[in-house]
Amino acid sequence: MTKTATIELHKPGIGELLFFILSGAIVSIPLTLFLEQNFGAPLINGLPAITVSIITIVIFAPFVEEFSKIFPLFYRHGETQRSIFTLALCVGLGFGIVEFVTYIVLYGAVIIPDRIPGLFFHPASASISAYGIATRRPMPYYLVAVGLHFTNNVFAVFLPTLPISFLVLLVTLLTSWRLRAKAKNVFVRCEHLSCPDPES
């Protein structure tokens, strides 16, 4: 007689969601600073300050920040595509909140309108990368997130008066929403196997 075992699909609870919001704040932010200071800064040491700022914001930040936001997800096992996607939204939100508060502390309340989009952009871009992890195709989706981040920063730095950054945000949100609809409640390791695929 063959015995079968039932494994429940993982659905993150409130406590776990809060944990990953904190992960975005206390893991991803320090990792971003560490990578930029120890790997990015030496490459551009000696350049004019304005050039250093532009290179850091436009080139280094998209690659480093998008990696740092999904870093807390790599230890997860037994997750579904949908749960990884959800946890990525939480990490991105935690990252965005800390970045938002940091800018206010540094530049005052006048910066608030310019930084609000980041509270939406970071969760959405993190979820795009996470979809790649969930479907075992991390690099293409990571590069999509980096490309959107890069485009946003280019226009924010060089054409801040034009609403193009808003359009980039809209594309990022729509991409995240579409991928969320494609993310399944199926174990990541079972994506290409005969595993349960219940409707959500």
So what's the pLDDT on residue 50?
A: 76
The full set of domain ranges for the chain reads 14-186
So what's the pLDDT on residue 130?
A: 95
Q: Please check whether residue 171 is in contact with residue 121, taking contact to mean a CB–CB distance below 8 angstroms.
A: no
Q: Kindly compute the dihedral angle of the four CA atoms of residues 96, 183, 81, 64, in this order, to the nearest 10 degrees.
A: -30
So what's the pLDDT on residue 111?
A: 85
pLDDT tens, 154-188?
A: 988 888 777 788 899 999 999 999 999 999 888 77
d(CA 70, CA 90): 10
Strands (E), 24-174: none
- Cα separation values, 67 from 16, 93, 184, Å: 21, 15, 23
So what's the pLDDT on residue 176?
A: 97
pLDDT tens, 1-30?
A: 555 444 556 677 788 888 888 888 888 777
Could you give phi then psi for residue 187, rounded to 5 degrees? -55, 140
pTM exceeding 0.85: no
pLDDT tens, 92-141?
A: 999 999 999 988 998 888 888 888 999 999 999 999 999 999 998 999 99
